[in-house]
Amino acid sequence: MDQQPIAPEQFNHLVKSRRSVFLKQFMKGEQVPDKIIWQLLENANWAPTHKHTAPWRFCVFTGEGLKKLASFQAALYKKNAGQHFKPDKYEKMQNNPLQCSHVISIGMKRSSEANIPEMEEIAAVACAVENIYLTAAVYGIGGYWTTGGITYETGAKEFFGLSGEDKLLGFFYLGYIGTPSIAGKREPIANKTTWVDG
């Protein structure tokens, strides 16, 4: 029997210590090496996926690419907002990506196999994102998955290489942690579990 690659208590600690780390907590100007971003994506690629469709699609923005993302999303929001336009939201769309080391767009590429429910493809992408979260925690990198910005804007998908029934599921913002998150808390799992034994 192969030796376990990681002790159970280490993994349990990792899962419980994972946190969403937000923009105001990032260390300004600190750049995460691209090779670590590639490792995040490699681990994402090993998420469970029904019939091996691997529906996750990522676009990585860094350096000048962050400015392209910021300009695109701010302009699209302004174009579509109409009477609901909010100057502060527009300003955040212009500035928030620039506070990150990297931003990864999260897409779901719809499988051509008609018998695979869309929900299963979305769930697979969510599993891939959890792998990103856990890998970031191991490397001491902060990040969070947001469905804000232009996630649900009409016409956003093409910019991220998506089309048709594909879905843009949000963005993962990344940076080194300057201010740690507070300790997490959860209600006991027993309160959310029905155990049937016989």
Gap between the Cα atoms of 164 and 130, Å rounded: 26
List of residues 6+ apart from 93 with CB closer than 8 A = 70, 73, 74, 77, 149, 150
Residue type, 19: R
- Based on the number of CB atoms within 10 Å of its own CB, is 3 exposed (0-12), middle (13-18) or buried (19 or more)? exposed
Q: In order of start, what are the domains of the chain with their CATH numbers?
A: 25-178 (3.40.109.10)
Gap between the Cα atoms of 50 and 62, Å rounded: 31
Residue type, 23: L
Gap between the Cα atoms of 22 and 173, Å rounded: 8
Kindly provide the residue ranges of all beta strands, DSSP E only, lying in 63-140, ordered along the sequence: 102-108
List of residues 6+ apart from 157 with CB closer than 8 A = 107, 163, 166, 167, 168
- pLDDT tens track of the chain, all 198 residues? 566 788 999 999 999 999 999 999 999 999 999 999 999 999 999 999 999 999 999 999 999 999 999 999 999 999 999 999 999 999 999 999 999 999 999 999 998 877 899 999 999 999 999 999 999 999 999 999 999 999 999 899 999 999 999 999 999 999 999 998 888 899 999 999 999 998
